Amino acid sequence: MSQQEQLAIVGGRPLRGRLRASGSKNAALYALAAALLTAEPVRLHNVPEIRDIGEMGRLIESLGGEVTIEGGDVTLDASGVTETVAAPERVVALRASFLVMGPLLARFGEAGCPSPGGDAIGVRPVDVHLTGFRALGADVAREGQNFVARAPRLEGSRVFLDYPSVLGTVNVLFAATLARGTTTIVNAAAEPEVEMAGDLLNAMGARVSGHGSNRITVGGVESLHGTEFSIIPDRIEGGTFLLAGLATGGDVELEGAEPTHMDSLLTKLREAGARVEVSDHSVRACVDGPLRAVQLQAVPYPGFPTDLHAPMAAALTQAEGISIIHERVFENRLLYVGELRTMGGRITTGGQSVIIEGATRLVGSPVRALDVRAAAAVVIAGLAAEGETVVRDIVHLKRGYPRIEERLEALGAEVHAR
Ligand code: UD1
Residue whose CA lies nearest to ligand 1 atom number 29: 165
pLDDT digits (tens, 9 = 90+) for 241-288: 999 999 999 999 999 999 999 999 999 999 999 999 999 999 999 998
Please tell me the distance from the alpha carbon of residue 101 to that of residue 111, in angstroms, as a whole number.
5
pLDDT value at position 145?
A: 85
Residue whose CA lies nearest to ligand 1 atom number 35: 165
- Statement: residue 3 has pLDDT above 70: no
pLDDT digits (tens, 9 = 90+) for 86-134: 988 888 778 899 999 999 999 999 999 998 765 554 556 899 999 999 9
Q: Determine the atom of ligand 1 nearest the C-alpha atom of 191.
A: 14
Instruction: Please classify residue 162 by burial: count the beta carbons closer than 10 Å to its beta carbon, then call 0-12 exposed, 13-18 middle and 19+ buried.
Output: exposed
Q: Determine the atom of ligand 1 nearest the C-alpha atom of 306.
A: 12
Q: Determine the atom of ligand 1 nearest the C-alpha atom of 127.
A: 23
207-209/215-219 β-pairing: antiparallel
Q: Determine the atom of ligand 1 nearest the C-alpha atom of 330.
A: 30
Give the pLDDT band (50/70/90) at residue 2.
very low
Return the number of other C-beta atoms located less than 10 Å from residue 115's C-beta: 16
346-350/353-358 β-pairing: antiparallel
Task: Output the CA 241–ligand 1 centroid distance in Å.
Answer: 23
Query: Cα separations (Å) of 94 from 91, 145, 193, 215, 318?
Result: 6, 16, 17, 27, 33
Across residues 135-158, what is the average pLDDT?
A: 95
Reply yes or no: is the peptide bond before residue 302 cis, omega within 30 of 0.
yes
Return the number of other C-beta atoms located less than 10 Å from residue 213's C-beta: 12
Please, what is the end-to-end C-alpha distance for the chain in angstroms? Answer: 11
pLDDT value at position 169?
A: 98
Residue whose CA lies nearest to ligand 1 atom number 28: 329
Q: Is the dihedral of CA 292, 295, 298, 302 positive or negative?
A: negative
pLDDT value at position 119?
A: 53
Please tell me the distance from the alpha carbon of residue 250 to that of residue 238, in angstroms, as a whole number.
15
Nearest residue to 372 via CA among 51, 43, 15:
51
Reduce the secondary structure of 375-395 to three states and give it as a string. HHHHHHHHHHCECEEEEECCH
370 in ligand 1 pocket by Cβ < 6 Å? no
Task: Output the CA 312–ligand 1 centroid distance in Å.
Answer: 19
> Picking from 2-16, 183-197, 286-300, which range would have the lowest pLDDT averaged per residue?
2-16
95 in ligand 1 pocket by Cβ < 6 Å? yes
Residue whose CA lies nearest to ligand 1 atom number 30: 330
Residue whose CA lies nearest to ligand 1 atom number 34: 165
Hey, what amino acid is at 354?
A: V
- Statement: residue 320 has pLDDT above 60: yes
Q: Determine the atom of ligand 1 nearest the C-alpha atom of 163.
A: 29
Task: Output the CA 33–ligand 1 centroid distance in Å.
Answer: 17
pLDDT value at position 115?
A: 83
Q: At what angle do helices 101-108 and 25-34 cross, to 10 degrees?
A: 20
pTM of the model: 0.96
Q: Determine the atom of ligand 1 nearest the C-alpha atom of 94.
A: 8
Please tell me the distance from the alpha carbon of residue 113 to that of residue 316, in angstroms, as a whole number.
40
167 in ligand 1 pocket by Cβ < 6 Å? yes
DSSP secondary structure string, 185-250? EET----HHHHHHHHHHHHTT-EEESBTBSEEEEE--S----EEEEPPB-HHHHHHHHHHHHHTT-
pLDDT value at position 391?
A: 95
Task: Output the CA 165–ligand 1 centroid distance in Å.
Answer: 5
Query: Cα separations (Å) of 98 from 25, 124, 130, 140, 287?
Result: 16, 12, 11, 14, 42
Residues in the chain: 418
105 in ligand 1 pocket by Cβ < 6 Å? no
Average pLDDT, the chain: 95
Task: Output the CA 273–ligand 1 centroid distance in Å.
Answer: 31
Reduce the secondary structure of 84-149 to three states and give it as a string. CECCHHHHCCCHHHHHHHHHHHHHHCEEEEECCCCCCCCCCCCHHHHHHHHHCCCEEEEECCEEEE
Across residues 354-382, what is the average pLDDT?
A: 95
pLDDT value at position 4?
A: 64
Across residues 357-378, what is the average pLDDT?
A: 94
Q: Determine the atom of ligand 1 nearest the C-alpha atom of 301.
A: 14
Nearest residue to 28 via CA among 58, 12, 49, 9:
49
Q: Which long-range contacts (CB under 8 A, 24 or more apart) does 393-396 make?
A: 393/3, 393/4, 393/5, 393/368, 393/369, 394/5, 394/6, 394/7, 394/369, 395/1, 395/2, 395/3, 395/5, 395/51, 395/369, 396/119, 396/369, 396/370, 396/371, 396/372
Give the pLDDT band (50/70/90) at residue 1.
very low
55 in ligand 1 pocket by Cβ < 6 Å? no
